[in-house]
Structure 1
Amino acid sequence: MEGIRKFDIKNLVLSIDKNYNRAVLDIDSWQDYLDCLCSEREYQKTAIKTAVIYLMSAKYSSINDLAEENYYLNEDIRTTYKTLPHFLRSLQMPNILSGVLDMATGSGKSFVIFGIAQILMSMGFVKRVLVLCPSLTIETELNKKFLELISKADLQSYIPEKFKKSLRITNANNTISANDICIENIHAVYSNTETSIDQSFINSGSDTLILSDEVHHAYNTSKDSDIKKWKEFVLNPKYGFKYHIGFTGTAYCGDDYFNDVFYRYSLRQAITDKVVKRVNYVDEETHENDYEKFQKILHNHNKSKTLYSGLKPLSIIVTSDINSAKILYEDFVDFLVSFTNDNKENVKNKVLIVTSHKDHKANVQKLPLVDDKNNPIEWIISVSMLTEGWDVQNVFQVVPWEDRAFNSKLLIAQVLGRGLRIPKGMNTQPSVRVFNHSSWSKNIRKIVDEILENEASITSSIIQSGTRAQYNFLLYKLNFDKVEQPKFNENYDEVETFDISQPLALITQDERVLKSISYIDTSNKIENVDYQIFKETKTITEVAAAIVNQYKRREKEANIRNLNNELVFNNGETEMDRLPSYDEIVAFIKASMESANIKGDKLTYANIEKINGKFTGLLRKKRSSAGFVNKVNAPEEIKTNQMAKSSDRYTAVKNGMVVYYSSDYKKELSQEELEILEFFSNELPGKQMKEINVYNFKTPSSVVVANKEPETKFIELLTRTSIAGRIDAWIKSRDTGFYSLKYILKRGSRPKEFNPDFFIKIGDNIAVIETKADNDVSKENYSKMVDARKYFSLLNEEMKKTNKNVRYAFNILTPKSYPDFEGKILDGTYFNGFNSELEIKLLEAFNNKNDN
């Protein structure tokens, strides 16, 4: 069980033995050359020396030797890989001298690649070097850098006299000869056009060095057929390559760190050394819609323009796929046009979309120019996997638009990397703002922290063996298919009265509101930023005109209605007699606004929806219409022992969270887990670390972290001896992904999701509990309650049909109702029916109200 851990990625880096025969390898004579090449960047010099020693000191015949040596010296590696054969089998490029240099994006990998190539060829260890990369963009940048360095007279003058050679920078269009450094992208290697790869390298791999830039492409799965063959090419026996070094700033296969890294210059270290920008990202934030989010992104962008007025700051927005990028591009352009009052042509010149789609191919060529202050581009919209190879320095905001663009260590490291480079000539260390969304911020925080090596984190995982594993249990969840069938308006034949003589109760909302976002940076410093947010609005005349136009289009629908059951107006006239005029609607809206103390002539969308809802009766559709309905399949099983882990970092926990663990923790946790738990116990006050009698701690979770007071009080209730004796097991759910329920906040809107906080097993019954603060009366909580009750009622019906005895009850509880809940659990009548005080207040406040 990995459970609780520290972020010690550096402990997985393979150590190179620096005790070697200097007569075999004279790297010390290259010190002046390295000083000129790398200046004061000592980490680059160390990276070059380490790679040269590994390849040419004769200490190792292959990566297998290095891996075996480290396996017996490194406890962390032995913990990760239980046996040496397991470790060796997991190597990406076994049986050759291979390995990876993990260097933060923006730290100058190209200098290291060039230095290794020139030193090894000049010393005669290899005859030729093949530099591979994943794209033409990166190939172009490497070629430019290498030509600059090989032409730099003072650098070349520092090569020791006995090793001086004339080297050539070339590509695979030419035959690769001795003393050539060939730079090529992997697509050209496998293109249909004729290249010199085969004729240059067949049976000559033993004196060729391959240097793969952005090697994580070769190590990870890819849809690109050429990328898939990258590793196959290096290991192809017809070439017999012996030496291969990979370079990356994102040394992850998904979330797993590479196991063949032998040098690491981490992002955290690069930030500390002020080699790259600082990073700060969203810690707490809420927004109602994309319109509001766009405003915050624009505010951040304009703030960067103020702070760095001598430059032209750029913002990058990253999506997960091409279609998302296209949609976002159109929406964002429309937003900038309407919000800034700029014309569309000017805005389009400022926004560049970069994907692999043929329509955007020309845009890739524009990337090298975007830093130029005279270039109009300020915004770049890109697909996540196409964000590499841009040598762009003026990025001060990165926006992962959706969680799929930011949901693994690999993607996060790639996205962060786009904004790390410090502009030339800047003497201070600026920061890049990562505007991720708070709804999934908690889920990615652990990953971000691990990449940035921020701090310790405590992780709740599910115990799979031992005493408390018995508290795992089975849940059931409804499984739906969507089928198309006619929908019938059940309330159609009811007579209703339509009265616009009385004003409608509108929400007193200002067009502009102040909202705050909390950001956290790499030193755990919290920054609160205030934003003036303008709500989307329409004028009274626009709203009234839309209503009139809509019901005019539907006038003929009245002909199919039963004339005895029409809509009746307050003066006794029916829908067939008259409809309200445009002027009447305008007057009604103005009266409603005046009653709600709303000034001006603009309405927010929340009030527009309420007004539209008032006229719904006039705009009713025909008796039935085609639509999709949910067809219920047999309930599916959800096992608690398959619930994903959940982590909370120390900084977050110390700000008021409470950690619960069992009195048997020494038997349940590993040595590493015990050390972290001890660290938390020593650093946090006792009220935040609660040891629970193992006989009362009837949950399979290794530890339980409670976020707010309602959660802490409820866990204390569940672990009380009296209650613990009456329940079989319980589990605190994850915030996302384990057991989500849909709810509709307002009619016509997209469903939202929430995950109930607790599942409690009592015999065949399951209590599903959502905890809230006292008096948290909101439309959202009402919607959650109503839709969750419907859901579990339907689930209970399906359980009966399938002859299963399990029954579910859902409640929203607050601390005020905990004693009542406790009483019903103790007397065994809870499942006969229970209403909390908050639930009654929600019904009184919202039941029978217009859902619009």
Structure 2
Amino acid sequence: MDDKENPIEWITSVSMLSEGWDVKNVFQIVPHEERAFNSKLLIAQVLGRGLRIPEVYRGNQPIVTVFNHDKWSSSIKHLVDEVLEIEKRIHSYPVEKKEDYNFALFQIDYEKVIEESREYLKEDEFELLKKGYITFSSQDVIIPEETEYETVITGIREKREYFVTQKMYPVEDVANDIFNRLYVFDQDAGTNYSEEWSKEKIIQIICQSLKEVKDKTGMISEGNSHKALRAFGVIKRKSSTFPRIVPKSKEPYKISSKKMNKNSLGGGSLRRDSTVFWDDYSITLGEETDIKLLKELEEDESLPRSAVIKVGNKYNFKTPLNVVLTAYEPERKFVKGLIKEDNAKAIDAWIKSLDVGFYSIEYSWRKGEHPKQGSFNPDFFIKTGNDILIIEIKDDRAYDGTAGDENQKKLEYAKAHFNRLNELQKQHKYYFKFLSPMSYDLFFKALRNKTYRDFKSELEARLKG
């Protein structure tokens, strides 16, 4: 690979470039998924592969370009900065306060059981084709695209424009693919879609669809070819497997807030929308590096006013954590509600949970035609008497679109999980709530008036439809 005569230009690796892989002329890395680049170890390994220097270039500063997707580049930036020792981070963790705000939660382990269900489509699946065309997006063979580069050490950004050649297909090839899928489906399901939709008729539909977007290429882009396939809705497997989550153990077990792992926040996040909440305990309890950094942040006048918020009365800050870290405005506004004196009087203790680990709830849902499995960690646990309120915070539009479909399933599975816990133990009563800022005032009123058990937010009502 290090021989300049070697014709190989690209290497595809599963998840990471393995240990012992020692090619020295890597200058460009393209992670395909976030999980290939979402830990300090993986980042160090990936960067290390691209920072080796061929012998002929000894003495020069190596540069490796790593392409990240817009959706997750910002979420891993702090990890890159930590690997390169650029960004200071403040940490949140349980400390021993004079008032004991720790409490235990019951949890159940789950396993996935795979069930098989058969599914056939009805004859009316071609309703969308009655108009005579498929709604394509505009397309072209060559598209200008802009890429932004950021030098990690200096933070300097540079934009460059490239002209990218798109993958295009002949109309006949796409029509053949659709026809063949219809034919295979007919053989399995005993239908006659391939007789109703000949290749010529499919070509006519595709050509009309291209005409509707004033296409001049006479070809069909990869994205539009997928739209064409989806439009012929009978293209489905004869049977599909859908996972169903069932309890692994009938015996709930306890986890304590004392066992929470560290959470952290980079200084750069505070210049965007994140916040550190702290009180007098924060600068006397905890690790020296965090106390020192907290003092620096408090004195940093260049930070937004919302970045560092001191809780004036430590008795209103009823959490076992040294500091509380919030990622965006809805979380920040909720914590402000928790530390208001009238609301704090109605609370025994609360924690801001971790995004990963500590307390996780599994769920499954369908994204288009594909079953998906996931897990989420509720944002807050609030103890009042023997009741535990579990709060998942979202923005006010979290009921819309695909995200709304997924949140609906999160709500359904979480409700079932905590109802099961309420049946299996009597020590605590659990109440799960989906909340967004438009319902905060009503929620805290219900908390003060002890009517929270039946409280339902506007977001939850919309998710339930």
Normalised-by-shorter TM-score class: 0.7 to 0.9
Q: Percent identity?
A: 27
Q: Corresponding residue for 1:783?
A: 405
1:508 to 1:718, Cα distance in 2 relative to 1, 3 A = farther
Q: Which amino acid aligns with 2:220?
A: K
Change (3 A) 1:713 1:377: same
Change (3 A) 1:826 1:378: same
Q: Per-residue deviation at 1:785?
A: 1.5
Give the C-alpha shift of residue 678 in structure 1: 0.9
* 8 A contact 1:769–1:811 mirrored in 2: yes
Task: Give the drift of 1:779.
Answer: 2.4
CA contact under 8 A between 1:384 and 1:411: conserved in structure 2?
Answer: no
Match of 1:545 in 2: 176
8 Å Cα contact 1:460-1:704 kept in structure 2: yes
Alignment partner, residue 723 of structure 1:
343
CA distance in 2, matches of 1:471, 1:695: 14
Candidates 124, 130, 142, aligned match of 1:501: 130
Aligned to 1:662: 279
Larger Rg: 1
Q: What amino acid does structure 1 have at the position aligned with 2:409? A: D
Aligned residues of 2:34 and 2:72 also touching (Cα < 8 A): yes
For 1:784 and 1:581, locate their aligned partners in 2 and report how far apart those are by CA, in whole Å: 38
* Aligned residue runs from structure 1 range 254-653, under 5 A: 367=1, 369-370=2-3, 372=4, 374-380=5-11, 384-387=17-20, 392=24, 394-399=25-30, 412-421=43-52, 424=56, 429=61, 431-435=63-67, 448-463=80-95, 465-467=96-98, 470-476=101-107, 479-483=110-114, 485-487=115-117, 489=119, 498-499=126-127, 500-502=129-131, 506=135, 508=137, 510=139, 514=145, 519=150, 521-527=152-158, 540-557=171-188, 579-589=196-206, 601-602=219-220, 605=223, 608=226, 612=230, 614-616=232-234, 621=238, 629-634=244-249, 639-653=256-270
Report 1:29-44 matches (<5 A). Answer: none
Corresponding position of 2:308: 689
2:394 corresponds to: 771
Aligned to 1:798: 420
Preserved CA contact (<8 Å) 1:757 1:771:
no
Match of 1:454, as an amino acid? I
2:367 to 741, 745, 752: 745
What SS is found at the alignment partner of 2:27? strand
SS in 2 for 1:664: helix
Partners of 2:200 and 2:432 in 1: CA distance? 51
- The answer (yes or no) to whether the contact 1:471–1:700 under 8 Å persists in 2 is yes
- Shift of residue 706, structure 1, vs aligned partner: 2.4
Cα distance 1:793–1:612, how it changes in 2: closer, same or farther (>3 A)?
same
Shift of 1:508: 4.0
**Gap runs ≥5 in structure 2:** none
- Distance in 1 separating the partners of 2:208 and 2:78: 52
CA distance in 2, matches of 1:707, 1:764: 27
Which residue identity is paired with 1:479?
Y
- Residue 253 of structure 1: aligned partner: none
Quickly say closer, same or farther: Cα 1:398–1:803, change in 2 above 3 A: same
Aligned to 1:340: none
- Write the distance in 1 (CA, Å) between the matches of 2:273 and 2:38: 26
**2:130 is aligned with what amino acid?**
S
CA 1:376–1:556 in 2, change beyond 3 Å: closer, same or farther?
A: closer
Do 1:812 and 1:839's aligned partners in 2 also have CA atoms closer than 8 Å? no
Q: CA deviation at 1:759?
A: 3.9
2: distance between equivalents of 1:811 and 1:802?
23
**Contact residue 474 and residue 637 of structure 1 kept, 8 A:** yes
CA distance in 1, matches of 2:224, 2:362: 24
Question: Residues 764 and 777 (structure 1 numbering): CA distance in 2 closer, same or farther, change over 3 Å?
Answer: closer
Residues in 1 aligned to 2:181 and 2:194: alpha-carbon distance in whole angstroms:
18
The alpha-carbon deviation at position 420 of structure 1 amounts to: 2.9
| Contact 1:788–1:810 under 8 Å retained in 2 | no
Q: Give 1:590 shift.
A: 5.1
Name the residue aligned to 1:303. Answer: none
Question: CA, structure 1 residues 520+824, in 2 after alignment: closer, same or farther (shift >3 Å)?
Answer: farther
Which residue identity is paired with 1:691? K
- Matched position secondary structure for 1:792: helix
What SS does structure 2 have at the residue aligned with 1:395? coil
Conserved? CA contact 1:785–1:839, under 8 Å: no
Report the residue type matching 1:766 in the other structure: L
Q: Judging changes above 3 Å, is the alpha-carbon distance between structure 1 residues 784 and 821 closer, same or farther for their aligned structure 2 residues?
A: farther
User: Conserved in 2, the CA contact under 8 Å of 1:729 and 1:761?
Assistant: yes
SS at match of 2:113: strand
Do the aligned residues in 2 keep the contact of 1:509 with 1:604 (CA within 8 Å)? no
CA, structure 1 residues 488+698, in 2 after alignment: closer, same or farther (shift >3 Å)?
Answer: farther
1:418 maps to amino acid: R
Pick aligned residue for 1:705 from 309, 312, 325: 325
From the superposition, tell whether residues 757 and 579 of structure 1 become closer, same or farther in structure 2 (CA, over 3 Å). farther
Provide the rounded CA distance (Å) in 2 between the counterparts of 1:405 and 1:526: 24
Counterpart-to-counterpart distance in 2, 1:714 and 1:498:
47
CA distance in 1, matches of 2:419, 2:76: 37
Indicate conservation of the 8 Å contact 2:91/2:290, yes or no: no
- Report the TM-score, using the length of structure 2 for normalisation: 0.76
AA partner of residue 326 (structure 2)? A
Paired amino acid for 1:736: V
What secondary structure, in the 3-state scheme, does the structure 2 residue paired with 1:470 have?
coil
Query: Aligned partners of 1:597 and 1:822: how far apart in 2?
Result: 55
* 1:677 to partner: Cα distance: 0.9
Hey, what's the Cα distance between the residues in 2 that align with 1:530 and 1:714? 42
CA distance in 1, matches of 2:125, 2:400: 29
Distance 2:167 2:254 in 1: 43
The residue number in structure 1 matching 2:439 is 817
Alpha carbons 1:744, 1:752 under 8 Å: kept: no
CA contact (8 A) 1:538 1:604 kept: yes
- Structure 1 residue 458, shift from structure 2 partner: 1.1
Query: CA-atom RMSD, angstroms?
Result: 4.3
Separation of aligned partners in 2, 1:552 and 1:650: 59
Counterparts of 1:632 and 1:474, CA distance in 2: 17
Q: Which amino acid aligns with 2:280?
A: S
Higher relative contact order (CA 8 A, sep 6+): 2
Q: What CA distance in whole angstroms lies between the structure 1 residues aligned with 2:210 and 2:58?
A: 53
Give the partner amino acid of 1:781.
Answer: A
Deviations 1:80-131 (A, max 9, x none): xxxxxxxxxxxxxxxxxxxxxxxxxxxxxxxxxxxxxxxxxxxxxxxxxxxx
Whole-Å separation in 1 of the counterparts to 2:338 and 2:460: 20
Letter in 2 for 1:458: I
Contact 1:710/1:771 (8 A) holds in 2: yes
Distance in 1 (alpha carbons) for counterparts of 2:61 and 2:263:
33
In 2: Cα distance, 1:649 partner to 1:558 partner: 56
Query: Residues 671, 506 of structure 1: CA spacing in aligned structure 2 closer, same or farther, 3 A cutoff?
Result: same
Number of residue pairs aligned between Structure 1 and Structure 2: 449
Amino acid at match of 1:688: A
Amino acid at match of 1:701: L
CA contact (8 A) 2:17 2:49 kept: no
> Judging changes above 3 Å, is the alpha-carbon distance between structure 1 residues 407 and 775 closer, same or farther for their aligned structure 2 residues?
closer
The verdict on how the C-alpha distance between 1:741 and 1:653 changes in structure 2, with shifts beyond 3 A counting, is farther
8 Å contact 1:659–1:703 — kept in the other structure?
yes
Deviations along 1:804-836, one digit per CA (max 9) or x if unpaired, are 5533424252x3333343344344444425242
